[in-house]
Amino acid sequence: KPIFILNGPNLNLLGKRQPEIYGRDTLEDVERNCAAAAADHGLSIRLFQSNHEGVIIDTIHQARDEASGIIINPGAFTHTSVAILDALNAFDGPVLECHISNVHKREAFRHHSYVSGRADGVIAGFGVQGYVLCVLRMATLLRAA
């Protein structure tokens, strides 16, 4: 089963919005780099992006049957969404939380994450490289499973 890589609001603009914070790589670049890293470990990925909380929750439900693990960058929903936390708690496989920026260096409202209450690991501040590092970690976790 593929690894689902879920991206929340505004990440469709990756590469264009606030490049001083999020860099110039796009979500297509992320997808290509993650697919290559996964293939090195005999794994595959499916990358999703939605600006809508309910769609993200539906995709997490879909992952219950269709994904081996979840890598999620919930965007601003990180800091607001009990509903995404609840959905992730209904998923049995490994969950990794990825933030492009170092949220702890930023505004106080970005310091708390609901999703971290479920995540098996969290990465922040490694730029888009964080997604690839999550894929490598996921390969380790899935091998151990």
Segment holding 39, helix H or strand E: helix 27-40
- Residue 84 as a binder of ligand DQA (CB under 6 A): the answer is no
Stretch 60-79 residues interacting with ligand DQA (CB under 6 A): 73, 75-76, 78
Of 1 and 116, the one with the shorter C-beta distance to ligand DQA is: 116
With contacts defined by CB under 6 A, name the span among 26-34, 39-47, 55-63, 97-105 that binds ligand DQA.
97-105
Can you say whether the dihedral through the CA atoms of 75, 81, 83, 89 is positive or negative?
positive
- Cα dihedral 25/45/97/115 (nearest 10): 120
> Residue 20: left if φ>0, alpha if ψ -120 to 50, beta else—which one?
alpha
Show binding-site residues for substrate: 73, 79, 86, 100-101, 110
Among 110, 122, 136, 137, binds ligand DQA (CB under 6 A): 110
Question: Is 131 a known active-site residue?
Answer: no
Q: Rounded to an integer, what distance in angstroms lies between the CA atom of residue 67 and that of residue 44?
A: 10
Total binding residues for ligand DQA by CB under 6 A?
A: 10
Question: Is 22 a known active-site residue?
Answer: yes
Of 10 and 68, the one with the shorter C-beta distance to ligand DQA is: 10
Of 39 and 76, the one with the shorter C-beta distance to ligand DQA is: 76
- Residue 93 as a binder of ligand DQA (CB under 6 A): the answer is no
Neighbours of 9 (CB within 10 A): 16
**Of these residues, 22, 41, 114, 131, which one is catalytic?**
22
Q: Decide: 46 and 4 in contact? Cβ < 8 Å.
A: yes
